[in-house]
């Protein structure tokens, strides 16, 4: 399974403008029940990523105004993956970089969404359950 398989059925791509305030971004996250989003410039190009922890660490913990622009607090060093990348490699990249989200960018450089460690863990758990069920049916066939 690859990234494209995971994001294929998603209806919405979560993205915010670099011109939004931290307050607006926090409301965006709360209303959509997400923890992070890609940050786009005025031309729609991916230029950063913002997470709830960025807002907590860079605004609240430093007692900065909630009116600070996303562009001032977003992470600019992006870890991106292509839709063709295998999911096990995504998990390795998250572990290597100590992050919980990966930005998906296609071959034309277009932002296609984000995958989270939760997405990957749900797939791993589902796969393991399917394997266990198959083994159980082999060991204990219906009589």
pLDDT of residue 129: 67
Q: Label residue 46 by pLDDT band (50, 70, 90).
A: very high
Could you tell me how far CA 71 lies from the centroid of its own chain? 19
CA-to-CA distance for 43 and 125, rounded, in angstroms? 39
Average pLDDT over residues 94-121: 94
Q: Report angle CA 96, 37, 103 to the nearest 5 degrees.
A: 40
**Beta strands in 36-116, from DSSP E residues, in sequence order:** 36-40, 46-51, 80-81, 101-105, 111-116
Tens of pLDDT, residue by residue over 4-45, are 999 998 889 999 999 999 999 999 999 999 999 999 999 999
Tens of pLDDT, residue by residue over 93-104, are 999 999 999 999
pLDDT at 143 over 60: no
């Amino acid at each position: 399974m690859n990234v494209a398989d995971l994001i294929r059925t998603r209806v919405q791509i979560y993205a915010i403008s670099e011109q939004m305030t931290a307050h607006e971004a926090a409301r965006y996250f709360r209303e959509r029940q997400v923890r992070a989003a890609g940050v786009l410039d005025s031309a729609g190009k991916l230029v950063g990523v913002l997470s709830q922890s960025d807002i907590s660490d860079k605004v609240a913990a430093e007692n900065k105004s909630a009116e600070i622009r996303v562009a001032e607090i977003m992470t600019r060093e992006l870890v991106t993956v292509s839709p063709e990348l295998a999911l096990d490699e995504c998990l390795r990249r998250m572990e290597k970089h100590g992050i919980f989200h990966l930005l998906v960018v296609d071959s034309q450089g277009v932002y296609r969404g984000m995958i989270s460690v939760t997405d990957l863990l749900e797939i791993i758990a589902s796969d393991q359950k399917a394997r266990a069920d198959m083994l159980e049916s082999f060991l204990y066939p219906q009589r």
